[in-house]
């Protein structure tokens, strides 16, 4: 999964800070820690303190922070059940985490005073869809109108959400990253779809482990900036057709652990700008058919791993892409493959190739791929596949196989020779004459046989014609 650098740093800080006090025996009774990295970067760590309510005020150091600074506040692993209105925080970019608490309710205007809130983590709580409403994210009340807040990342994973209010993101127009993973959504109903499509600046959407098996065709309508979607660990039997609506913007798709049986030429239709595709841990997947990857004209990285029943990949799976090849990394590890076609892909043009954990039959085709086409040089040094068969090569590195009975893999063709009468030999002429004579004799014999049968039929079998007489004039009746 791809994350911009600023979000990586922010999330790493969350993890490091929230765990940094876990080893200290008096952590639960100690006050919150403040770390001032520089005048423009401050962290308030209130993790693992048995805090059950939001404080009325922050430590004085927060108030002394430069208004253009960055602030991280984490209440990780406490017992807060109600998120009430938080005190004001100076800072241009503020990140707050309530991960792993006991949150069941959030008050209106809870974040109204934090004008720089860009990152909010509410994951691992007991929040339901009824609790989530637009009023939570209202900004300051100015001239009879509630202002919007600059929230960019909202993590709602691991809660008890079945549906979203259609107006939930009314006051968060800058929302770019939405995590709904590990919620019992089951069905993307109409109001949930309206809520998602209202976040028109979304770039990342995580719907993994939500028990969904279908995405409405208009669920992504209007999300012209959506770049990354995770649909792992759901109940899809096919790749959702609705993804084609964001085909021009989508760059990263994760589709692990779904009960799909095959991938075919309809699976990724319209996803012309996809850069990275991950299809792994699909226990029912057994076949990759012709033209499966043909729509993926800009694909750079393919993860097709850990599909324990995947036995066959069509030699035309990349049909139409070989002349304009973009793939740099292909991972086929831990499937049930034994053979691959030498013309599956232009192996020399790869930078990294993974093939470990399969039951490779070390035959002439594999020798061609590994030696002649140079695939063996694309393996990582500690990830070289082994032969599973034939028995005499079992356990050997596939890069070491030397099959003396295999052809030299010469792809050139001998020129066609023109035909002339001088190429004929006497025996050819003799056999030709005998053949013609035999056919003529056979024809004559068949003709005689047919005439004989007709003659017999006419004389002995065919009925005589009926004769008519006049009984008054015939003397034989007198």
Q: What is the pLDDT of residues 16-42, one digit of tens each?
A: 444 444 444 444 446 899 998 887 889
**Cβ atoms within 10 Å, residue 182:** 19
* pLDDT for residue 156: 98
Longest dimension (CA), the chain: 154
Q: Which of 51-65, 82-96, 416-430, 437-451 has the lowest mean pLDDT?
A: 416-430
Average pLDDT over residues 352-361: 98
Residue 346: name the closest of 324, 379, 331, 313 by CA: 324
Q: 73-77, 124-128, 391-395 — which is least confidently predicted?
A: 391-395
Residue 94: beta bridge partners?
Answer: 71, 117
Answer yes or no: is pLDDT of 5 > 50. no
What does the pLDDT read at residue 409? Answer: 52
Res. 477 pLDDT band, cuts 50 70 90: very low
CA–CA distance, 454 with 316 (Å, rounded to integer): 61
Is it the case that residue 455 has pLDDT exceeding 80?
A: no
Q: Which residues are registered as beta bridge partners of 121?
A: 97, 155
DSSP 246: G
pLDDT at 406: 79
Mean pLDDT of the region 38-50: 91
Tell which wins on pLDDT, 65 or 142.
Answer: 142
Are 278 and 256 in contact, with CB atoms under 8 Å apart? yes
Kindly report which listed range (76-85, 298-307, 349-358, 424-433) carries the lowest average pLDDT score.
424-433
Note the pLDDT of residue 444: 85
Helix, strand, or coil (residue 121): strand
Bridge partners of 156? none
The closest alpha carbon to 205, from 246, 163, 256, belongs to 246
Assess contact for 309 and 334: CB atoms under 8 A.
no
Distance separating alpha carbons of residues 208 and 205, to the nearest angstrom:
9
The 3-class SS string of 70-119 reads EEEEECCCCCCCEECCCCCCCCCEEEEECCCCCCCEECCCCCCCCCCEEE
Residue 277 DSSP label: E
Q: Tell me, what's the pLDDT at 460?
A: 64
Summary count for the chain: helices (H), strands (E) = 5, 23
Residue 422 pLDDT greater than 90, yes or no: no
* Residue 458 and residue 451 in contact, taking contact as beta carbons nearer than 8 Å: no
CA distances to 10, 72, 120, 213 from 40, in Å: 14, 11, 20, 46
Q: Three-state SS for 159? A: coil
The C-alpha atoms of residue 445 and residue 437 are separated, in whole angstroms, by 12
Q: Residue 195 above 70 pLDDT?
A: yes
Contact between residue 391 and residue 360 where contact means Cβ atoms under 8 Å apart: no
Report d(CA 20, CA 43) in Å as an integer: 12
- Average model confidence (pLDDT) for the chain? 88
Neighbour-count burial of 308, counting CB atoms closer than 10 A to its CB (0-12 exposed, 13-18 middle, 19+ buried): middle
Return d(Cα 66, Cα 138) in angstroms, integer: 24
**C-alpha of 239 from chain center:** 8
What pLDDT band is residue 452 in, cutting at 50, 70 and 90? Answer: confident
H/E stretch holding 66: none
> How far is the C-alpha of 310 from the C-alpha of 168, rounded, in Å?
42
Mean pLDDT score, 344-350: 97
User: Predicted confidence band at 15 (pLDDT cuts at 50, 70, 90)?
Assistant: very low
CA distance 44 to 36: 9
The structural domains of the chain, ordered by start, are 260-412 (3.80.10.10)
Range 437-447 average pLDDT: 81
Q: Is residue 327 scored above 60 in pLDDT?
A: yes
Would the pLDDT of 282 be above 60?
Answer: yes
- Burial 8-18, CB ≥16 within 10 A → b, else e: eebbebbeebb
User: Distance (Å, rounded) from C-alpha 336 to C-alpha 353?
Assistant: 17
Say yes or no to pLDDT of 56 above 80. yes
Of the given ranges (163-177, 349-363, 384-398, 439-453), which has the lowest mean pLDDT? 439-453
Rg (alpha carbons) of the chain, rounded to whole number = 38
The pTM for the full model equals 0.80
Alpha-helical (H) ranges within 317-425 are 364-367
Q: What percent of the chain has pLDDT over 70?
A: 84
In this predicted structure, what is the pLDDT of residue 61? 82
Residue 6 has pLDDT above 50, yes or no: no
């Amino acid at each position: 999964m791809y994350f911009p650098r600023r979000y990586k740093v922010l999330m790493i800080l969350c993890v490091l800070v929230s765990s940094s006090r876990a080893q200290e025996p008096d952590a639960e009774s100690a006050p919150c820690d403040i770390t001032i990295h520089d005048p423009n970067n401050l962290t308030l760590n209130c993790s693992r303190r048995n805090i059950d309510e939001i404080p009325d005020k922050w430590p004085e150091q927060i108030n002394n922070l430069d208004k253009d600074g960055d602030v991280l506040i984490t209440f990780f692993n406490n017992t807060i059940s109600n998120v009430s209105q938080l005190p004001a925080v100076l800072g241009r970019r503020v990140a707050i985490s309530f991960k792993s608490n006991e949150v069941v309710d959030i008050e209106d205007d809870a974040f109204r005073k934090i004008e720089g809130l860009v990152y909010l983590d509410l994951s691992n709580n007991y929040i339901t869809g009824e609790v989530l409403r637009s009023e939570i994210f209202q900004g300051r009340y100015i001239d009879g109108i509630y202002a919007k807040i600059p929230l960019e990342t909202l993590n709602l994973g691991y809660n008890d959400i079945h549906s979203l209010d259609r107006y939930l993101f009314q006051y968060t127009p800058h929302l770019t990253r939405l995590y709904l993973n590990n919620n019992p959504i089951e069905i993307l109903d109409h109001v949930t779809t309206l809520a998602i499509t209202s976040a028109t600046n979304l770039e990342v959407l995580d719907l993994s482990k939500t028990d969904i098996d279908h995405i409405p065709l208009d669920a992504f309508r209007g999300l012209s900036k959506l770049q990354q979607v995770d649909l792992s660990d759901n109940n899809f039997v096919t790749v959702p057709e609705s993804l084609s609506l964001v085909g021009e913007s989508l760059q990263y798709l994760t589709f692990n652990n779904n009960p799909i049986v095959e991938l075919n030429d309809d699976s990724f239709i319209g996803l012309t700008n996809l850069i990275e595709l991950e299809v792994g841990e699909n226990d029912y997947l057994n076949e990759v058919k012709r033209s499966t990857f043909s729509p993926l004209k800009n694909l750079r990285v393919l993860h097709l791993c850990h599909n324990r029943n995947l036995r066959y990949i069509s030699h035309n799976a990349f049909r139409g892409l070989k002349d304009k090849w973009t793939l740099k990394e292909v991972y086929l590890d831990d499937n049930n493959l034994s053979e691959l076609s030498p013309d599956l892909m232009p192996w020399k043009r790869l930078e990294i190739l993974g093939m470990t954990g399969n039951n490779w039959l070390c035959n002439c085709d594999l020798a061609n791929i590994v030696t002649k086409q140079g695939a063996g040089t694309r393996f990582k040094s500690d990830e070289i596949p082994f032969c599973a068969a034939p028995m005499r090569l079992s356990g050997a590195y596939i890069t070491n196989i030397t099959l003396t009975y295999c052809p030299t893999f010469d792809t050139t063709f001998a020129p066609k020779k023109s035909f002339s009468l001088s190429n004929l030999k006497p025996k050819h002429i003799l056999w030709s004459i005998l053949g013609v004579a035999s056919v003529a004799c056979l024809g004559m014999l068949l003709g005689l046989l047919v005439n004989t049968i007709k003659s017999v039929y006419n004389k002995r079998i065919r009925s005589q014609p009926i004769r008519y007489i006049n009984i008054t004039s015939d003397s034989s009746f007198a």
